[in-house]
Amino acid sequence: MDLRTFVLIDSMQPQYAALTGILLQGDTPVEGMAEVFMELAPASDVYEALDAALKTSDVRPGLLRVEREYGTLEIHGFYQEGVIVAGRQSLAKFGLTEADRWKPEVVSVKTVTGVDAWQAQLVNQASRGGLLLRGQTLCVIEVAPAGYVMLAANEAEKAAEITLVHYQPSGKFGRLYIAGTESAVRVARDAAVTAINSLPGLKAAGRGGA
C-alpha cells in the first residue's frame, strides 16, 4: 500500500470544524473533536481501512471516497485516544504505521497586504468559509500532498485570531486561505508552516517511485 496522507487533528478549532463539516459528505464533525484523514493506494483498500477503524473504537465516518488513483477516508470523534487508535488500527490492517506516510512539504507561501475590495470579492466567490474583507491581509499556503492542508488550517486557527476563508484538500496541491490583520496572519502562517515542516514521513525517494 502507498500511504499518501495520514493526518491527525488533535482538537478541531471552531472555524476549521465548521468548514470541514461543509466539505465532508458523511457524518458532520463539531469543534473539539479529534480527526484522522488519510489517502491510500490502491484506492479500493480504503474500504477495508475504514472498516477496521469503525470496528476498533467509537468514531464516526465523515468521508469515504474512491478516485482513480487514491482512496480517501476521514473519521472523527470526541475522544482523541479513540480516534488515534482507530486510525492506527486501519493502518495496521496493511502492516503500516504513521511512519510510512509521505512527508509533506510547503510548496509556496504568498501574502497580500491591504487587499483591494475587487480582489476580496473574487476570492470570496470561490470560498466556503469566512469572508475576506477590503484592507485585510490574505495569505495563501500551498502544500503537497494536498490533504496535509487540513493540519495547516487547524494549526493556523489555533495560533492567532484569523479568518479561515477556505481550504482545498484535494488535487496536486492543497491550498489554505487565511485573512486578518497583518500581524495575526503572520503568526498563523508561521504556525501552519511549522506544523507541516515538522511532520515526519517518507521522503520522495521512499514514495514507491513517485
Q: What is the DSSP letter of 19?
A: H
Residue 206 lies in a domain: no
pLDDT digits (tens, 9 = 90+) for 144-153: 999 999 999 9
The reply to whether 112 and 176 lie within a common domain is: yes
pLDDT digits (tens, 9 = 90+) for 175-195: 999 999 999 999 999 999 999
Cell of 165: 476563508
Task: Kindly report the CATH number assigned to the domain that includes residue 140.
Answer: 3.30.70.1710
| Structural domain that includes position 52 | 2-100
Model pTM score: 0.93
Final residue of a structural domain among 38, 69, 100:
100
| DSSP run (H or E) holding 62 | strand 60-66
Please tell me the predicted confidence (pLDDT) of residue 204. 59
Distance (Å, rounded) from C-alpha 157 to C-alpha 161? 7
User: Which parts of the chain sit beneath pLDDT 50?
Assistant: 205-210
| DSSP run (H or E) holding 39 | strand 34-41
Amino acid (one-letter) located at 150:
M
Final residue of a structural domain among 100, 126, 154:
100
Distance (Å, rounded) from C-alpha 90 to C-alpha 94? 8
The reply to whether 136 and 69 lie within a common domain is: no
The reply to whether 162 and 145 lie within a common domain is: yes
Residue 209 lies in a domain: no
The reply to whether 14 and 76 lie within a common domain is: yes
